[in-house]
Structure 1
């Protein structure tokens, strides 16, 4: 297929060349989040809201970037998995930021990022405290940005306790995406996760705190969905505490109109200083997370591509450029470039048509697959095999079976290549992370890591660089099917 031309900032490059340069700088299926198929399976108004939102559409996260601004440090609850850190550049988890901003500083930073990254489509406020509790700063930031960048969608995340108090303002300000963290609907379980809350100038603990929090969360969810706001519910999977209970949470949020349910793993490390980290509460394995997600099939649509972003994240999901846009690095003069964002979105629209057609053919090729097969994909975006194995810090996991080819999650591992040489310890961790995945698809791989993967029963394939992910997977399946009869004849 021919690559269309995309003019950005006075340049004229082929779409693949431009995409590669853009993503290098900064850059759902229905089974995963229910929001990639487009107008055929949802009303046009809803599709218009999600099609360019990388968190609300698995398909969109291949193309579009988000940014968070850390303007709301105050929080009204304490979670046993949370320890908000400031001036921290080395941890990738919620609640962590390098610098706290005033609304004016945040707006300036958003303008700078929008001028540099045409992929930017969403501004979110996710802390480092609670965006609804620290509402004055959240509201001021959104107002400043909306005045200058009306094409950027607004999004906020909250624990839900203060959220009902601000629903009418949220609707009036066209904040059409809200995330609520709901880890339990049974207060007996909730009190094991949240030891205290601060509500109406009073501190509550135990069952009472968990009950108030639960009631306010569900009230906010009902109020928002009744007004047409898309709500994503986050739940942290904590083994031994709420793992069996999350199916009930899924049913409850679906009944109240949640658009997506994001079940994400507990991040538990003593070095983070959280209660769970210091008391030895472990996080789930990839298999345990998938088991709970699969158990929720048929309930609220699941999000499987979450990266559990920092509160100052910038760029594509899985590729944070926040450290490139600290206050000291912002230019003195910032000029908006809406024409670059318009051109980029026009390019994405055409690319989506190509990829949708390719995916349809790929699904047909996968129809003959007897047993589900997993693929680990090295990609830096655009839905293509376009990243060197040694540079991958995460692998996107796809599953192929008789129902087709679909994204099912991602797995993180430190990149193997360090300045021209490989790290043996990191390679061992990559093999452990991919122990149930028989194929790795990448743009390029050296003979050393190829042989180590092969010794572990993993075939690395680098002959399909720049192909769409689905097309590449279909090609592998077809090649495997062609080899099997010959192998049977030889036997």
Structure 2
């Protein structure tokens, strides 16, 4: 049967997110984002976070190389915008919580708005103090806000948040969870009433909130959330969850949950990369090291006209892709889908060697439509020639377990040992380069390779 998207958004919303790589699957292939690390303090504690290893915000490690002042952030944004023409979004996501550092956060946004007015402003928060800052958000023209909501039931929430600190008072247990949840839902409702697009992030924590997240999704949709992004648990070293021995969900568990959420009509994000709080570039890339403050001019120049012309060209490419996709829908096979893994360094290309990949993009296709299911993170298999030729490598075995539900793997190169091991479990590695969508549709004809193979995919 034909792969189905999670849901449809209105034309007005689609237009507004058309250049936002975190909100739009199409945009993430062409447009870049920049996270500015100006907010070091945090006002809650999460059991998957250890502040000695940076704060976790938006359900991913808030790792940064350095925390910037608003003045430094202004200079860096101007420097990046002057060089990275596809930069379309500037956000603040940590490394703590931006609204636990409101002066630094809003000062930075005001500077960006003044000096690089063509970028969209994006804020990520745990939501504890969000309701206090709605007017500032509206006044600054911040149109995209992400709230991390892991539970709407305090009994579940207390297993995630040991304490919350607000206005000089420390709350613990269910009291902490009740306060945080009530503030999150209030903030979401207030933002939606102002027409601001809200993405809700949730961390999938097996044994804690995995069964509860459909209820979360339904509630935030009722309150006006535009998008729900569920990401797998990442456990910081030394965190409470590491001490408890908790494990991250397996890819098929995450995929199953995303499918459930989509059935309720919520638009589900599947291309999240759980980025650093100082990430720069396309999703799946991090070019922060290419834009060091030491190498920038004191007052970088931003050519607004050149940026506008460049981004119009990207808009045209996206429109062309959408048009081609609509044309293919008339050729729909109506048959079974094929699951395909792609090794990529970004840019919507098959351009990564199997041994160097640190993630795989997972797609389903029926030969006409191509649906992104999500991103599966791995450790790179190859750290030298010996590793690439060793079929007993423990990392390879872990990668095999992650890919075993796929039929085809597309990559720019692969060694003999991993090729043979993948074949044994019924995964066909194909060496390809170029556009991901074209490569997927071309590779489907090789599905007949499996017709006479009796393999349990697990």
> What is the correspondence of 1:79-158 to structure 2 with a 5 Å cutoff?
79-85=46-52, 93-158=60-125
Q: 1:384, 1:368 → 2: CA distance?
A: 27
Closer, same or farther in 2 for the Cα pair 1:33/1:430, shift >3 Å? farther
1:82–1:95: 8 Å Cα contact kept in structure 2?
no
Say yes or no: does 1:276 pair with 2:241.
yes
The structural deviation recorded for 1:328 is 3.3
Say yes or no: does 1:217 pair with 2:199.
no
Say yes or no: does 1:43 pair with 2:5.
no
Q: 1:182, 1:344 → 2: CA distance?
A: 36
Closer, same or farther in 2 for the Cα pair 1:198/1:288, shift >3 Å? same
Match of 2:312 in 1: 346
Which range is displaced more, 47-56 or 250-259?
A: 47-56
1:32–1:408: 8 Å Cα contact kept in structure 2?
no
1:84–1:96: 8 Å Cα contact kept in structure 2?
no
Using the size of structure 2 for normalisation, the TM-score is 0.89
The structural deviation recorded for 1:65 is 1.2
Counterpart among 165, 169, 173 of residue 206 in structure 1: 173
Match of 1:456 in 2: 425
Counterpart among 27, 30, 34 of residue 63 in structure 1: 30
Number of aligned residue pairs: give it: 443
Closer, same or farther in 2 for the Cα pair 1:145/1:85, shift >3 Å? farther
1:262–1:306: 8 Å Cα contact kept in structure 2?
yes
Q: 2:232, 2:69 → 1: CA distance?
A: 31
Structure 2 residue runs of 5 or longer lacking an equivalent are 454-458
Q: 2:450, 2:238 → 1: CA distance?
A: 52
1:197–1:204: 8 Å Cα contact kept in structure 2?
yes
Q: 1:458, 1:340 → 2: CA distance?
A: 45
Q: 1:207, 1:87 → 2: CA distance?
A: 25
Q: 1:261, 1:129 → 2: CA distance?
A: 21
Counterpart among 249, 267, 272 of residue 306 in structure 1: 272
Q: 2:157, 2:451 → 1: CA distance?
A: 55
Q: 1:458, 1:33 → 2: CA distance?
A: 30
Closer, same or farther in 2 for the Cα pair 1:33/1:276, shift >3 Å? farther
Counterpart among 238, 258, 262 of residue 293 in structure 1: 258
The structural deviation recorded for 1:85 is 4.8
Runs of 4+ in structure 1 deviating by more than 6 angstroms, as ranges, are 483-487
Q: 1:169, 1:345 → 2: CA distance?
A: 28
2:99–2:105: 8 Å Cα contact kept in structure 1?
yes
Q: 2:451, 2:213 → 1: CA distance?
A: 44
Closer, same or farther in 2 for the Cα pair 1:415/1:361, shift >3 Å? farther
Match of 2:211 in 1: 244
The structural deviation recorded for 1:32 is 4.6
Closer, same or farther in 2 for the Cα pair 1:485/1:83, shift >3 Å? closer
The structural deviation recorded for 1:113 is 1.5
Which range is displaced more, 149-158 or 351-360?
A: 351-360
Q: 2:231, 2:53 → 1: CA distance?
A: 23
Closer, same or farther in 2 for the Cα pair 1:242/1:316, shift >3 Å? same
Q: 2:305, 2:379 → 1: CA distance?
A: 37
2:284–2:346: 8 Å Cα contact kept in structure 1?
no
Using the size of structure 1 for normalisation, the TM-score is 0.83
Closer, same or farther in 2 for the Cα pair 1:402/1:452, shift >3 Å? closer
Counterpart among 226, 237, 240 of residue 259 in structure 1: 226
Closer, same or farther in 2 for the Cα pair 1:340/1:124, shift >3 Å? same
Say yes or no: does 1:171 pair with 2:171.
no
Closer, same or farther in 2 for the Cα pair 1:485/1:421, shift >3 Å? closer
Closer, same or farther in 2 for the Cα pair 1:210/1:480, shift >3 Å? closer
Say yes or no: does 1:183 pair with 2:175.
no
Counterpart among 348, 360, 375 of residue 340 in structure 2: 375
Structure 1 residue runs of 5 or longer lacking an equivalent are 1-28, 35-40
> What is the correspondence of 1:329-408 to structure 2 with a 5 Å cutoff?
329-332=295-298, 334-365=300-331, 367-370=333-336, 372-401=337-366, 404-408=369-373
Partner SS for 1:414: coil
1:378–1:388: 8 Å Cα contact kept in structure 2?
yes
The structural deviation recorded for 1:486 is 11
The structural deviation recorded for 1:51 is 0.5
The structural deviation recorded for 1:146 is 0.8
Which range is displaced more, 75-84 or 445-454?
A: 445-454
The structural deviation recorded for 1:303 is 0.8
The structural deviation recorded for 1:374 is 0.8
RMSD: 2.6
